[in-house]
Structure 1
Amino acid sequence: MVLFCVLQLSCLMVVAGSVNAQTSLDGKVVDLTNMEARQRIQLNAHLAYFEDTDDLGIDDLLAEPYEWSINQSGLRNFGQSSNPYWFKVTLDNLDQAGAPLYVRFAYPHVDLLDVFWVHDNAVIKRYRLGDSVAFNERPVDNRVYLLPLEGLAAPRVTLYLKVVSQGPMEVPLDVLTYSKFYELDKAELIWYGAYFGVMLVMFFYNFFIFVLVRDITYFYYLFYVASTVVLQFTLTGASFQLLWPLSPALNNTMVLTFTSMMPLAAIFFVRSFLQLETTAKPLVRWLARVLVTAFFLQLLLSFVLPYALVLKIAHALSFTAVSFGLYLGVTYWFRGVRAARTFALAWLVYLIFILIYLLQITSTTQPNIVSIHALEIGSMLELVLLSLSFGHRINEEKEMRIRAQDQALKAQSALNRNLDQLVRRRTDELEQANARLKELSIKDGLTGIFNRRHFEELAQTEYQRSFRDKNWLSIAMLDVDHFKGLNDRYGHPFGDLCLKKIATVIMGQVRRPPDMVARYGGEEFIVLLPGTSVEGGNVVAENMRRAVEDICLQHEGAEVRLSISIGVASTLPSQRDDLESLIKAADDNLYKAKKSGRNCVVCSSAGGA
């Protein structure tokens, strides 16, 4: 009977394979009609794919037919492979979508992602992306890969992807409208904000306790929290986007480094928390030392061994270390240590989520909302429970001191009072830090003046006030003349110096409280002048132009002169919400200034130039 079932299953697999091979020749076509209503389509079930053992190029694929497999089960994880994978999907009726669209590749940690848009067997657009390529090569500034469909100029295209990954071959692919993407991205950012918020609260809470009690166990815990935060921040792709966008090699280095540092800190914490050197059996102490040595070696080998191999070693060692922590928690629980209850629960929870994560990356299970965020959920719950274990341990020590002498009780009471004060002080400091962070979010990081987002918020308010008060409003758009040539000749650091100098000079010419200067993008600046007519705007613009013209910078013994072109637009608003027209008018005048030979001002009112 068993043999019959096996033969029957084998026949079904053969049939399934033959059907798959037959359908793989053409692949599936995704109709994008009326995407404004549909919002989003998952593409994985529509993908055709094959493992590339010959390192083929796009020209090879277009020159002759290859046997593709159809991803009928909608796989998102194809395991681990040293070979590239090719994927393709055909998108039809782009011109009937009804809304601008992205194709989203939602896994940030692929080494190389070659993208080819093909129409009529010819490549019409291509990108080379991945975390081994500088971040600014991406068509859209985001931690995942977004491929806009605008500008393809064809109603039917085929998307080819060549994916190279030393880690898991995860390919979560969908097509969605801009609005749907920003809705999903907002929800994900809320989750990440909550996760990192909890982690930072845990860090600072225990940091203040560490400052107070000077217990080395708290230091190891803080080291563990910090390593976890850095690793998770890197795994989300945010560190590449925000911290080192021009250093792709740093991504894998940081992942491997903190994949070693995090469990290493955890082992030191466990040894100190449970006082293994004085309370554990010799075998347990020996195992703890072996794990410490193993993770030190892993850290060193991460700089010489291949990424994929080190990652496999790290996963095996990390699973062993978490299992060891669970074993110790249960052992000390049965020995009557009350703090070990939450300690054991912490490692059990983390072990469960690590198993979920390992099953996903080995393609044993397919990614889902839990497995995608398994490390984040597990680490957050574990660290919260470990912090609670600290509380249990403090209570135990408190009771021991109470039984020992009355003075210990007084000391503990004083400690608790000081702790309450520290917590309140920490809350105040966190509020002050949030206020500082809010200020940083509205300032341009290079020049120190306001950024574009903050300008648009204030400009809308001022426009509505001018409409209500029937008052003039002027906007000046400024662009640095020949800035690209300056960058190419003297280098980007000197270009940055020029932008900072120009920002300082412009700020010196805008003195009224309601006036505002902001960096609008690249070498462009924008100035908001409430209560200023076209004549006043022209005066302010000329003052700014002359002030910049007087700048003289030195570079390797040579003098460098700067100039700007300015477009000014002024209006008495007749509509409540027509700020964009005023900005466009100023931009058009800037264009005229450029066309007129640069280093000049072109002004106009709502009625014309």
Structure 2
Amino acid sequence: MTPRFCALLMLGLLAFAGIMPGYSMAAEPCPTLQATNPEARSAINHHLCFHSARPGEPAHAAQSASELPVDMPWTPANGHDLVFSHTDAVYWIQLTVHNPGANRALWYLKLNYPLLDEITFWQYRHQPGSPDVVTEAAPPLTTGDSLPFATRGIDYRYYLLPVTLDPSERRTITIRVHSSGALNVPLALMTPEEVIAESNHLTLIHGLFYGALLILAAFNLLLFFSSGTRYYFYNAFYISSMAMFLFAMGGFANQYFWPESAQLANLSIPLTLVICSAAMALFGWSFLDVSAGTISESVLRGLVWSAVGFLALTFLLPYSKAILLNTAHALMVIAALSVIATIRWRQGYLPAFWYIAAWMIMVVGALAYALAAFGYLGDYLAREVMMQAAVGGQVILLNYAMVQRWRLLNQKLLDIEHQARTELEFKVHERTAQLRNTMRELEQANRKLASLSLNDALTGLHNRRHMDNLLPELCREARRTGQPLSLALVDADHFKRINDSWGHDFGDQCLRHIATCLKNQIKRPRDVAVRFGGEEFALLLPGTDATGASKLCQDILEAVRDSRITAPDGTAVSLTVSAGIAELGVEEQPDSLFRRADEALYASKAAGRDAITLAQHSSEPASNS
């Protein structure tokens, strides 16, 4: 017997006795999965067994599959998802796979849940002909959120275990799972092509989802900077915080942001959740236009400040308690915002309807996602996609609600502008009417003022100012047309004696009587009677020569002489007047005409009064009549 033969025989005996680096396994509680069968791979839950090891049990303290009791009971999954709510137990999971093919092939055992603290994979190869005897087929893989990301071996947010099977090889995979939160162990056995196809599909979905959220957040931020409206900023804050929360929940943050920090990997989830709660409350507070001093305002203020308190507690409490508290707080925020939005809608605030619709979608997605994350629902991957769809639908409806709010505010502004324009037009018409009335009154006042400035207040005749303005014009007209122009000055005789005898009031009455006589004798429209002094009057007679003026003055003298005025003492007083007439000479100036008429008047006074004197040119003496 050669030494080589002895060594081989010894190894066989040791292996048979279980002393070799391998161990004897109990009978398989679950059927073996045929790795080459796609239908069998899709029904992997029918091939899984698990055991829940409570604290104090040998399996709880076991750190290796070889340390498990041989008689440890395994529970078949029977097609159900391996989901477990929060517990201190250690879960052991076992799967036996077989390659019935003729070629060596590679598969990946995929665990589609990134939020597990500690996971260890063992692979044991069954000895051909001795299925109960196994040897370690690959070094154990220990990873999880409590360890750096690089421990996963493959740079992927989920856990991938490569399983390479030789032809006809059977292999048992044992998994030890322990986590401070809920346990969700969605397993899948996939070919490399299936892993790549699924990864590409999920990459497209996640890329579109997070890209859309990033664009919407940036767009709302730009709207905030351009308009200064706060709810745009809060919406950008909410979208960003929600995206960061889902990024952390999906394992992306651990993969790309802090792969070397296991503490941040666990802290990021409750931290981003409570930040998201605060953003939800702030955005709802601003968007729903909650009035100050109301109960709704007090509730939202309390939720925001409580979010600040939970944010501080997140750094102090363990993950299991922090995630429960922050999740409860987020659900409270969602419930409170739904109630407040309903109240605002019933108050007539129309954008609240779309806000409610957005939150209803969010409630459904959040509840399903929370139940899956806490181990009450299976198929975590589907719940994650459902949550992303719910968030996407919510964000779209929220932005549509903001559009409706903008339209409502714009319509209000248009209504206010229209009302202001109508009121302005009414006030303009009113002011215009008032202005017209004022202008009319002003015109009348101006006319009255002009009349007062050009008329004598006592007699009603024109005054000296009017004569000074009119006489030069009449002189120019007479020279231009060749028509005659006469000026007659009329003065009351012995008027001082009348004032001294009966007073100035009676004197004013006498002046008014003389003015009446003048107006009664003037027949032509262009003839003008003027009182230019105390008892002195003037007649401007365009188109009248000296003879015509003398005839008119004669009628005036007779009218004044023939009338009687009763004095205050009952005396009948007879008045007389004297007149001086001058006809405009060729190239004669108004001053010269007035001077000659005045000289003629004085001549009438000197001739005994109650007379008329015609002024001659400066080279001719004056004649009395």
TM-score category by the smaller chain?
A: 0.5 to 0.7
Structure 1 position 48, deviation (Å): 1.1
Residues in 1 aligned to 2:382 and 2:33: alpha-carbon distance in whole angstroms: 30
Q: Which residue of 1 is the match for residue 83 of structure 2?
A: 77
Q: Does 1:289 align with 2:295?
A: no
Pairing of 1:26-45 with structure 2 (within 5 A)? 26-32=28-34, 34-35=36-37, 40-45=41-46
Which stretch has the larger CA shift, 361-370 or 265-274? 361-370
C-alpha distance 363-246 of structure 1, shift in aligned 2 (>3 A): closer
Structure 1 position 152, deviation (Å): 8.1
Aligned to 2:573: none
Q: In the superposition, relative to structure 1, how do residues 385 and 75 fare at CA in structure 2: closer, same or farther (>3 Å)?
A: same
The superposition leaves residues 155-179 of structure 1 with CA deviations (integer Å, 9 ceiling, x where unpaired) of 1221111111222211111111100
Unaligned runs of 5+ in 1: 1-23, 410-609
- For 1:434-480, what per-residue CA distance to the aligned partner results, in whole angstroms no more than 9, with x for missing partners? xxxxxxxxxxxxxxxxxxxxxxxxxxxxxxxxxxxxxxxxxxxxxxx
Q: Does the aligned pair in 2 maintain the 1:203–1:225 contact within 8 Å?
A: yes
1:52 aligns with 2:64: no
In the superposition, relative to structure 1, how do residues 59 and 109 fare at CA in structure 2: closer, same or farther (>3 Å)?
A: closer
**Alpha-carbon distance between aligned partners in 2 of 1:33 and 1:381, rounded to the nearest angstrom:** 39
- Does residue 150 (structure 1) correspond to residue 151 (structure 2)? The answer is no
Match of 1:405 among 385, 406, 417: 417
Matched, 1:203 2:203: no
Q: SS in structure 2 opposite 1:290?
A: helix
CA contact (8 A) 1:45 1:75 kept: no
State how far apart, in whole Å, the 2-side matches of 1:156 and 1:311 are.
41
2:363 counterpart residue number = 351
Instruction: Please point out which of 81, 93, 99 is paired with 1:93.
Output: 99
In 1: Cα distance, 2:167 partner to 2:103 partner: 13
Q: Does residue 394 of the first structure (1) align with residue 406 of the second (2)?
A: yes
Query: Distance in 1 between the 2:347 and 2:33 partners?
Result: 64
User: Which amino acid in the other structure matches residue 44 of structure 1?
Assistant: N
Query: What displacement does 1:151 show?
Result: 7.5
Deviates more, 1:355-364 or 1:285-294: 355-364
For residues 33 and 265 of structure 1, the distance between their equivalents in structure 2, rounded to whole angstroms, comes to: 47
C-alpha contact (below 8 Å) 1:79/1:362 kept by paired residues: yes
1:353 aligned counterpart, secondary structure: helix
Q: Distance in 1 between matches of 2:231 and 2:94?
A: 52
Matches within 5 A, 1:241-260: 241-260=255-274
Please tell me the residue identity of whatever aligns with 1:399: Q
Output the CA distance in 2 between the equivalents of 1:154 and 1:66.
Answer: 28
Unaligned runs of 5+ in 2: 1-25, 55-59, 126-132, 422-625
CA 1:108 to 1:246, structure 2 compared with 1: closer, same or farther past 3 Å?
same
Provide the C-alpha distance between the structure 2 equivalents of 1:234 and 1:367, rounded to a whole number of angstroms.
18
In structure 2, relative to structure 1, the CA distance for the partners of 1:387 and 1:211 (3 Å cut) is same
Give 1:196 deviation, angstroms.
Answer: 0.9
Say if 2:359 and 2:394, in contact at 8 Å, map to a contact too. yes
CA offsets 1:357-416 (integer angstroms, 9 cap, x no match): 23333444322664232332222211221111111111111111112226999xxxxxxx
1:157 and 1:85 mapped to 2: Cα distance? 20
CA distance in 1 between counterparts of 2:101 and 2:68 reads 24
Asked whether the equivalents of residues 34 and 96 of structure 1 are also in contact (C-alpha less than 8 Å), the reply is: no
Distance 1:207 1:152, change over 3 A: farther
Deviates more, 1:324-333 or 1:74-83: 74-83
Q: CA separation in 2, counterparts of 1:220 and 1:65? A: 59
Contact residue 123 and residue 136 of structure 2 kept, 8 A: yes
Among residues 70, 78, 91, which one is paired with 1:64 in the alignment? 70
What's the counterpart of residue 335 of structure 2?
Answer: 323
CA-atom RMSD, angstroms? 2.5
1:178 counterpart = 2:192: yes
Aligned 1:108-119 pairs, distance under 5 A: 108-119=114-125
SS of residue in 2 equivalent to 1:77: strand
Q: Which moved more, 1:104-113 or 1:362-371?
A: 362-371
* Deviation string, structure 1 residues 211-267 (Cα, Å, up to 9, x no partner): 210112111111111111111111111222222221222111111111110010111
- Asked whether 1:217 is paired with 2:231, we answer yes
- Larger Cα Rg: Structure 1 or Structure 2? 2
Q: Which residue does the alignment assign to 1:314?
A: 326
Identity of aligned residues (%): 22
1:153-172 equivalent positions in 2, closer than 5 A: 155-172=169-186
1:521-545: CA deviations, max 9, x gaps?
A: xxxxxxxxxxxxxxxxxxxxxxxxx
Cα offset, 1:192, TM superposition:
0.6
User: In 1, distance between residues paired with 2:274 and 2:375?
Assistant: 23
Q: Deviations over 1:267-296 (max 9, x none)?
A: 111111123243x62x22222122122211
Counterpart in the other structure of 1:462: none
Distance in 1 (CA, whole Å) between partners of 2:123 and 2:111 is 15
